[in-house]
A and B are shown apart, each in its own frame.
Chain A
Amino acid sequence: MNGFYSLWSAPYFLKKRDAGFVMQDYELITLLLSVAAFEKYNGKTRLYADRKALEYVQERDLGQIFSRGVCEMQVPEDIDPAVFWAGGKLVALQMEELPSVMIDTDLIIWEDLGPWLQDKQIAVIHREELREQIYPEPSSFAMKEGYAFPKEWDFSVRPANTAMLYLKDPAFRDVYVREALRFMRGIQPTNDNLCPMVFAEQRILPTCAQAKGIEVSAFCEQIEQLREQHRFTHIWGHKNVLKFNMDERRSFITRCLIRLQKEFPDMYGIASAMEEFEEYR
């Protein structure tokens, strides 16, 4: 089972216009661990990166960790990175050969997903509740003239979290990505960087699937079930703590390095040569 990651630098540069693209040490070590674990338990990985992220990857010689290499992607300029900050994932998905698993850079998969995925068309990590604050009525989006939601879409379908997304059918992938990008282009300029994004990524997916009569499988139907499972590590909001708490960050990085050293020695060799982890040698 192949997998892929994506790095889109445009959202990063909205905040740091003068600096080059840089991954924080905790982000980097998570990615190393994620790639190492996926390649051990599942299959080969590839990274899709836009030009500036690619420069960073090449400069740091990070391409070597992805056994299927690194590809440059070009996210259309009319996709607003401030609103659709995860838009790069969809562009990468469009480029990827299916079947494949789309993996967030802060997600680690600790098990072979093959047996579970073998009879699936679409699989996600968990379903989400239709909370009004996050998933408002689609009619509340101010859309440009000419845009209309397909009539066959049923908005009562629960959204699907795509921190991990398995897709098998290229035809469905094309529909999903096309509709998601159409929505991104069709929305009026907005400051809301949550609802439109999760709609495009996580609500259009199951909605399209239902319209096509395809089942979306989920490892967990309820998010709370993720507290008691052994397949996934998702750093998610804990990144906020890692960002501002240096003790916690060091502890986290140390744990990751120890895990690499014990289980993924090749990747540990790469990590320990990086200047970000110099103090941990």
Chain B
Amino acid sequence: MGKLFAWLDRNRKETVREYDNRINRLQAFHAGYAFLSLLNYSPELSAFSAYAVWNGEFNEKLETPMPQGGFMLHCGMERAQEMCERPDGFPIFVKLCAKQGRLAVERMFLADADRIFDFYFNGCEVIPPERLGLVFAGARVPENAHREEYAHETGAAQQSGGSYRKLSAGGSYQKQTVTAGSYRGFGMGSYRKGFGSGSYSGSSDTKGSYPFGRSFGGFGTGSYRQGSYWQGTYWLGSYWHGSYWRGSYQAGAFRSLWMSSYFAGSYAQARFGIGSYAGGSFRVFFGQQGSFASGSFRRNVFFAGSYRESLFRRGSFWKNGSGIAFLMECAETLIPAENVVCDEKASTCEDRSAAYCHARIIEEMGYGLDLI
């Protein structure tokens, strides 16, 4: 971890001003992917609400990490349909800036061959594209990735039609995990069962560096070892990334979540300091959300009452010759409560397709801004 974007760090001999200058002169570079769906397109506004997946290492270096939701780009209907036919996402290029040594994204573009689209944050809502799970499962493998690893991920993808419950059936995680107390034990078992063959090569590293991970969510990281939290259930999480939640989520509330049949992505709550909520993150991976959409989490006052928020983190690590390469991280996404079941059936989606473009509630937009 930290190898690919280490050059974004400030050198020891570099002053703040020198660092700012260096960063401000950087050209735009590839830092993530945007996933588009007509569910998130408004023909009236010719606008897409996009779902962004950032390189986690890059994102972590920002003063304020970028979210998944809230981004928009504009294009006509015809182009929109073309873009949605491409399931593997559009590369997001970012132009960085630095002020007083703090790193931020100055400008963003979506780029593909000869096409470039401005991409910007306006806080709009986004429904995670249904096929995202498939995409992540197969499309983002480094060229030198281990083929066997790739096969596993594909296997995971092919399970996308099933429910999470089904995938995780068997409960063999818990015994292995708990009794053995070793992550490796955990990684076997029903992982194989649910997602096809293959060994997940877990590391026992609990230092928060990313011991391993699966593209569809990564079976845990160091802290499952903290133990009993995960007892009696599987751990689907996205977490390979210890530093986000290390040491901070050890609240009792997790237990109940994990003890349920669903994974809720709640560990991410720790980092953001939010309450307990079961989010719909699985639909991202498996194309359906089933009964995950429950809970009453509000991120903060501003979103209360109007959003449900699905928080999860996921990492994609792929083994290659030089070790484990980190690929992506999902930070968070905002899903309007009324759309929680929206993408389960296509027939119910159409009338909500532009729901993200709703009139903003006052808590979101503030008031009296025109008085300045």
Binding site for B on A (CB under 8 A): 14-15, 22, 25, 33, 82-83, 85, 106, 108, 110, 131, 133-134, 189-195, 198, 223-224, 226-227, 229-241, 243-248, 252, 255-256, 259, 275-276
Contact = CB atoms under 8 A, between A and B. Distances in A.
Contacts of A223: 362-363
B305 A226 contact: no
A275 B100 CA distance: 8
Interface residues of B, number: 45
A245 B121 contact: yes
A245 B122 contact: yes
Contacts of A248: 122
B371 A233 contact: yes
10 shortest A-B CB distances, which residue pairs?
A237-B302, A192-B275, A233-B368, A244-B121, A238-B366, A236-B366, A237-B364, A226-B367, A245-B121, A82-B273
Interface of B: 64, 66-67, 70, 97, 99-100, 102, 104-107, 120-123, 251-253, 269-271, 273-276, 296, 298-305, 362-369, 371-372
B366 A234 contact: yes
A189 B254 CA distance: 13
Contacts of A233: 366-369, 371-372
Contacts of B364: 236-238, 240
Contact of B106 (A226, A239, A246, A255): A246
21 contacts: A106-B366, A131-B305, A133-B304, A134-B298, A189-B252, A190-B275, A191-B251, A193-B300, A194-B298, A194-B300, A229-B368, A230-B371, A234-B367, A236-B363, A236-B364, A237-B365, A237-B366, A240-B70, A240-B302, A243-B64, A252-B372
B368 A226 contact: yes
Nearest to B97: A246
Contacts of B368: 108, 110, 226, 229-234
Contact of B372 (A108, A237, A275): A108
Contacts of A240: 70, 123, 302, 364
B129 to A, nearest CB: 20
Nearest to B64: A243
Given A238-B369, A241-B123, A224 B64 contact: no
Contacts of A85: 273
B274 A236 contact: no
Given A189-B251, A232-B368, A236-B365, 6 more contacts: A25-B99, A33-B372, A110-B368, A193-B274, A241-B122, A244-B70
A227 B362 contact: yes
A83 B276 CA distance: 13
Contacts of A224: 362
B94 to A, nearest CB: 11
A242 B274 CA distance: 21
Contacts of B253: 190-191
A241 B120 CA distance: 10
Nearest to B118: A247
A196 to B, nearest CB: 9
Contacts of A190: 253, 275
Contacts of B367: 226-227, 229, 232-234, 236
A21 to B, nearest CB: 13
Nearest to A25: B99
A133 B372 contact: no
A227 B46 CA distance: 26
A235 B369 contact: yes
A276 B100 contact: yes
Contact of A246 (B102, B107, B304, B362): B107
A191 B253 CA distance: 8
Which of the listed residues B120, B252, B372 has the most CB atoms from chain A within 10 Å of its own CB?
B372
B365 A238 contact: yes
Nearest to A132: B296
A198 B305 CA distance: 13
Nearest to B361: A237
A147 to B, nearest CB: 19
A42 to B, nearest CB: 16
Nearest to A131: B305
A235 B64 CA distance: 18
Contacts of A252: 372
Contacts of B371: 108, 110, 230, 232-233
Nearest to A202: B301
A33 B371 CA distance: 12
Given A25-B99, A82-B273, A234-B367, A246 B302 contact: no
Contacts of B123: 237, 240-241
Contacts of B369: 233, 235, 238
A276 B252 CA distance: 42
A195 B298 CA distance: 9
Which of the listed residues B105, B269, B273 has the most CB atoms from chain A within 10 Å of its own CB?
B273
